[in-house]
Each structure stands twice: as structure tokens, then as C-alpha cells.
Amino acid sequence: MLESFGDNIPPPWGPRIEFVFREIGGFNWLQITLIVVGLRIVLFGVASKWRMLRGRR
């Protein structure tokens, strides 16, 4: 879909717009991935503390 959109726009601007949209999409996926990894690290720390506290009782 993105390539057909870029093909319909005149030559100097079509490839540029297509490239910008691809970069924005890749950047969004990178942010989502970093958020998921960060959340997993935080939850791992919380779960570890929880297990240590529950084990002492």
C-alpha cells in the first residue's frame, strides 16, 4: 500500500515521502519494543522482591 502511494506522487517527492513513512513506522516499533523490555525488567524486579519476602515468612 505504501509503495503504491509513493508511486502516485511525482518523482522527487514520492520516494522521499515513502522513506519518511517507513522510518516513522520503524521508530514506533522500536519504542514499543523498548517499553516492553523495560516493563519486563521492572516486573522481574518486583517478582523477585515478592518471592524473597514471601520466602522469609
Per-residue model confidence (pLDDT) at position 55 = 77
Contact 24, 31 (CB under 8 A): no
Are the C-beta atoms of residues 24 and 18 closer than 8 Å to each other?
Answer: no
Q: What is the pLDDT of residue 3?
A: 65
Domain extent, residue 51, equals 2-56
For residue 44, pLDDT beyond 90: yes
- pLDDT at position 14: 78
What is the average pLDDT score of the chain? Answer: 83
Domain count, the chain: 1
Contact present, 6 and 17 (Cβ < 8 Å): yes
Mean pLDDT of 25-36: 84
